[in-house]
Amino acid sequence: MKKLLFLCSFIVLLPLALSACGADASSSQNQPITLRYAIWNQLQVPAMKQMAAAFEKTHPNITINVELTPFAQYFTKLQTAATGGSAPDVFWMNGPNFVTYASNGILMPFDDQITSKNVNLSDYPSSLVSLYTYNGKHYALPKDFDTIGLWYNKALFDAAGVKYPDATWDWNTLTQTAKKLTNPAKGVWGIAAPMVDQEGFYNTIPQNGGYVLSPDKKASGFADPASVEGLQFWTNLIQDKSSPTLAQMTDTPALSLFESGKVAMMYGGSWDALEFQQNDYTKNKVDVAVMPKGKTRATVIHGQGIAVYANTKYPTQAMEFADYLGSQAAADILGQTGTVIPAYNGTQTAWIKAYPQFHLQYFLDELAYAVPYPTSKNTPAWQDVQNKVLTQVWQGQLTPAAGGKEIATQMNQILSKEQ
């Protein structure tokens, strides 16, 4: 009898309890809330506001505040806010900082969104997806990407009677052409060979079959002979006097030299298209080609990601907004601005159309052999070592082999501390 009574009351009360839960969920869905969305690129503010407006239309109870912070201070501020427990709900992330944030539980994983089909990873280039994967989980949605190309000054090539770079070029062709284009009397060099990673040796190292960081992020690849040759590619150019010295390029950045017609070629990112378009010297004088082939083809790929704060007060809504930001609709809006290449597959044509005089398609072609930007838990620590040692290598104080070995030793120590 007692059991029956208990069972009856349970059956009666259960739906009540369930409906109460349901009522809570739906009423909290409709309470007006504000989400904070942090970005750092002032040029993209109109596009972000447009996306926010579009999202607010379909979610009338949500207001989006777009917060702009200058890039140089963005991560200092984000770190301070996260340490204090009040980071923005949705924010931009980049490669060098990603693992730090993901491994410390600051980012909310997207995997439920993937399983519930709100997000489909095959919509983005796989190299970007792996850039934002940590321990098998996905902590940011790719928003845009950039690859590296060989920008060149058509006027200087014409004056020297040399054919423009094309897909047949390999390292040798580049080195020879750089020599031909160097004209000390006029103060012109064939190419700029600065000590930079993303636009420089992070490409030539894999092009030669080397690697910067092992896939398991436990070992440095700098001591590998193939990697060392990837570094030597640049120091050879300086030794040939086809490139200014490091001291000269520190005084005057490669970009300034290129925009003044002092160097005929420079490796640069897809992001340079915007600046070269706005600069009336380069607007009609420069173009881009794919990077010359080493032993194989490779480009480093990097791009910003959309991340959600793990401790946000509104996880459901923040995730919804993030999903939207990673969607095709948002990518189309982004592409219209011409400021970056959207990551969503198939939305890149708007960007190419924004700069008709440049052969920007090459940047997209390079996706086929893209290598993710190398990152680990403490990227800044070993990148600092990398930069200090390579500065000496570029200045001829260390051979590339000795430098590579030194970097690998210190980098491995740093990586082992991360485990």
Partner 1 sequence: MDIAEKRKLTASSQKKSGKLRGIARKDLFWGYLMIAPLMLGLLIFYIWPVFQTFYFSFTSWGPFGNYQWTGLVNYQHLLSDPTLGQALRNTFIFTVLSVAGSMVVSLFVATLLNRKIRGLVVYRTIYFLPTVTMPAAIAIVWQWLYNGDYGLINYFLSLFSLHGPRWLTDPNIALYSITLIAIWGSIGNNMILFLAGLQSIPSVYYEAASLDGAGPAHKFFRVTLPLLSPTIFFVTVTSLISAFQVFDLIYLLFGTSDVVINSTQTVVYLFYKSAFVDNDKGYAAGIAMFLFVIILIVTIIQLQLQKRWVHYA
Partner 2 sequence: MPKSLEITVQATRRSKLLGSVLTHAILIIGGIVFIVPFMWMILTSFKSLSESMLVPPVIFPAILHWSNYASALTTLPFVQFYENTVLMTIGRTVGQLVFCSLAAYAFARIEFPGRNLLFLLTLSVLMIPSYVFLLPQYMIMKNLGWLNSVQALIVPGLFSSFGTFLLRQYFMSLPLELDEAAKIDGANHLQIYWHVILPLVKPALIALAIFTILWSWNDLMWPLVVNSSSDKMTLSVGLATLQGEYFTNFPVLMAGAVLATWPMLLMFICLQRYFVEGIALTGSKG
Task: Name the site residues for partner 2 (rule: CB under 8 A).
Answer: 36, 38, 40-43, 65, 67-73, 76-77, 80-81, 83-86, 88, 252, 255-257, 259-260, 262, 269, 271-272, 274-275, 278-282
* CA atoms 241, 148, 110, 329: torsion sign: positive
β-partners of residue 150 are 267, 289
Q: How many CB atoms lie within 10 A of CB 364?
A: 17
- Find which of partner 2, partner 1, none residue 70 binds, CB within 5 to 8 Å per kind: partner 2
For the CB of residue 88, give the shortest distance to partner 2 in the complex, in Å.
Answer: 7
Stretch that binds partner 1, among 109-117, 216-224, 241-249, 318-326 (CB under 8 A): 241-249
Sole residue written with tokens 């539980």: 105
Nearer to partner 2 by C-beta: 162 or 274? 274
What whole-number distance in Å separates Cα of residue 95 and Cα of residue 373?
Answer: 7
Describe the crossing of helices 225-239 and 171-181 by its angle, rounded to 10 degrees: 10
Q: Select the residue interacting with partner 1 from 28, 34, 76, 416 (CB under 8 A).
A: 76
For the chain, what is the radius of gyration of the CA atoms? 25
Q: How far is CA 203 from CA 199, 291, 337, 409, in A?
A: 7, 9, 28, 22
HEC assignment per residue over 82-135: HHCCCCCCEEEECHHHHHHHHHCCCECCCHHHHHCCCCCHHHCCHHHHHHCEEC
Q: How many CB atoms lie within 10 A of CB 395?
A: 14
For the CB of residue 337, give the shortest distance to partner 1 in the complex, in Å.
Answer: 25
For the CB of residue 262, give the shortest distance to partner 2 in the complex, in Å.
Answer: 7
Residues in 245-274 that interact with partner 1 by CB under 8 A: 246-248, 250-252
Nearer to partner 1 by C-beta: 79 or 236? 79
For the CB of residue 184, give the shortest distance to partner 2 in the complex, in Å.
Answer: 16
What whole-number distance in Å separates Cα of residue 35 and Cα of residue 139?
Answer: 19
Q: Select the residue interacting with partner 1 from 9, 34, 65, 83 (CB under 8 A).
A: 83
Nearer to partner 2 by C-beta: 50 or 279? 279
Q: How many CB atoms lie within 10 A of CB 28?
A: 13
378 binds partner 1 (CB under 8 A): yes
Nearer to partner 1 by C-beta: 100 or 312? 100
Residues 6+ apart with CB under 8 A from 410: 382, 385, 389
For the CB of residue 282, give the shortest distance to partner 2 in the complex, in Å.
Answer: 7
Residues in 87-126 that interact with partner 1 by CB under 8 A: 100, 104, 106
Nearer to partner 1 by C-beta: 366 or 406? 406
Residues 6+ apart with CB under 8 A from 322: 90, 110, 113, 141, 306, 307, 308
What whole-number distance in Å separates Cα of residue 238 and Cα of residue 268?
Answer: 18
For the CB of residue 377, give the shortest distance to partner 1 in the complex, in Å.
Answer: 9
Residues in 130-189 that interact with partner 1 by CB under 8 A: none
β-partners of residue 53 are none
The alpha carbon of 260 is separated from its chain's Cα centroid by a whole number of angstroms, namely 27
- Find which of partner 2, partner 1, none residue 41 binds, CB within 5 to 8 Å per kind: partner 2
Burial of 228 (0-12, 13-18, 19+ CB in 10 A): buried
Q: Select the residue interacting with partner 1 from 47, 82, 119, 181 (CB under 8 A).
A: 82
- Find which of partner 2, partner 1, none residue 67 binds, CB within 5 to 8 Å per kind: partner 2
70 binds partner 1 (CB under 8 A): no
Nearer to partner 1 by C-beta: 137 or 417? 417
For the CB of residue 114, give the shortest distance to partner 2 in the complex, in Å.
Answer: 29
For the CB of residue 13, give the shortest distance to partner 1 in the complex, in Å.
Answer: 44
Binding site for partner 1 (CB under 8 A): 75-76, 79, 82-83, 100, 104, 106, 195, 246-248, 250-252, 378, 380-381, 384, 387-388, 391, 395
